[in-house]
Structure 1
């Protein structure tokens, strides 16, 4: 099975690299950094989709759920780009659609290596399974339709004061030793708070101007939040489980702080 998977990745890698003027150059970049700059327009095109549209369409911003609920075809998630974009690979010459921007032919796009399916940076939220594993245009149209529903209605802002108090209380343990139930409850509570904050924070990121002063901090806060959510602490000892709960709580506090800053600026998202 491992040999078959490796052979499939090599086939996909060769296909992706064939879009590069010097395919070996793409392979070299993948070996060095895991990302290769490859031009669109000849072997494949790419439609850039706002993260808010994708997350509304699939009903989640958690990578595992996004991956499971996306349709067919290869999709890149650029977790470092301002605003956080998704790039759906489509056949060359595919039509641009409302809320989906087709990159001009010859645009150099950061293409992850075929086996790069996790952060940091750009990765395949749905990796190509074979050559020409394109996203059907009808699927993209339906995704945009679902993601556009209700976008004129502001997403309700979570109770920031309540979340902040609960998360800060986790750090005021008065030196007592937490029990297993304490650690489990603290982790569950912090995860629930983060799940309430992430869709709002994520949507805020897509609304910010690219040069907004808060953009870099927001991107770091989101990246760290997803990293902590993806960490399974159930197998860790009690002290490490509790430490992970505190890291989750700190991610919540970081996002509360950023959301309040956005609420204070005149050009902030209208729903804040």
Structure 2
């Protein structure tokens, strides 16, 4: 899907414009919201006027839908507009609800809370984005759906997901840093890049899902944020260079990301295992 500043650009412009005007109407100065969207893709807008917002822990949502992979989360959520604040891995979701809605199980933001609201077509990272974008003005999440989501997500930790062959991946990635072998050919570099990319694509969803199953201390959360951000950046980087040195350097950057993911997965898996034995 073509994107611009993290926003989908193939949604009908008329729909995005109508939704944007509705969201901006909650701002004391609607044009200020539009300026922030144009500049940064996200505008701070107070709750309580055009919409309220229910804040949901990412772990709750991911347990309820059985995945932390954004594409799967999106397809498994119910109706209504919902924001995912992804500045930190899987931290919060915000379900837009009609002003005055009561959802006893949910944490509703106090009226007047300034919420980071993505531009109407922004459906991808980085930062806050619409996991389910508004399809029209007042595209609210039903209170019963939110309550059901919370109940399903409160059933406890998800069953442990089978880890990839971490030892095999680690060995293959470390081999890329062995300078004692023969000089790589262009074919070797291309194959190494493809393998490292495949390994990283396998590891990323597992790391993201494992991270939702426990509360992380600040240091681990910071390392996880850096590792996931860098992994996404390298996966999105252009690897089509014909320059052998550049191509091999990119393969090594991908491999380094894989090694970071392997270390984090081992730590997270040990922490989750410890919780299950309490």
- Is the TM value for this pair above 0.5? yes
Closer, same or farther: CA 187–242 of 1 in aligned 2, 3 Å: farther
In 1, Cα distance between equivalents of 2:10 and 2:192: 45
Partner of 1:141: 147
Which ranges of structure 2 fall in alignment gaps of 5 or more residues? 1-8
Q: Secondary structure at the residue paired with 1:213?
A: helix
Distance 2:17 2:205 in 1: 37
| Change over 3 Å in CA distance of 1:154–1:69 after alignment to 2 | closer
Paired residues, number: 262
1:41-66 deviation line (CA, Å, top 9, x unaligned)? 12111111111222222232222222
Alignment RMSD (CA, Å):
3.5
Instruction: Tell me if structure 1 keeps the 8 A contact 2:234–2:254.
Output: yes
> 1:61-101 CA deviation, whole Å, 9 max, x = no partner?
22222222222111111111476211111111222443x32
- 1:218-251 deviations in whole A, cap 9, x for unaligned? 222223334555x497x94686887666544333
* Further displaced range: 3-12 or 29-38: 3-12
User: 1:64 and 1:164 mapped to 2: Cα distance?
Assistant: 27
Could you say what secondary structure the match of 1:104 adopts?
coil
Find the aligned partners of 1:60 and 1:139 in 2 and give their Cα distance.
18
CA contact (8 A) 2:122 2:129 kept: yes
Q: Hey, what's the Cα distance between the residues in 1 that align with 2:250 and 2:75?
A: 26
Q: Distance in 2 between matches of 1:247 and 1:141?
A: 43
Question: 1:170 touches 1:249 (CA, 8 Å); kept in 2?
Answer: yes
Note if contact 1:170-1:186 (Cα within 8 Å) is conserved in structure 2: no
Residues 76 and 123, structure 1, Cα contact 8 Å, conserved in 2? yes
Q: For each residue in 1:81-124, what CA deviation from the matched residue of structure 2 results, as whole angstroms up to 9, or x when unmatched?
A: 476211111111222443x3211111110011112222211111
The answer for unaligned runs of 5 or more in structure 1 is: none
CA contact 1:62–1:226 (8 Å) conserved in 2: no
TM-score (norm 2): 0.76
> Is residue 199 of structure 2 the alignment partner of residue 193 of structure 1?
no
Say whether residues 1:77 and 2:84 are aligned partners: yes
Alignment partner of 2:84: what SS? strand
Looking at structure 1, the residues matched to 166 and 51 of structure 2 have their Cα atoms a distance apart, in angstroms, of 44
Map of 1:15 onto structure 2 = 22
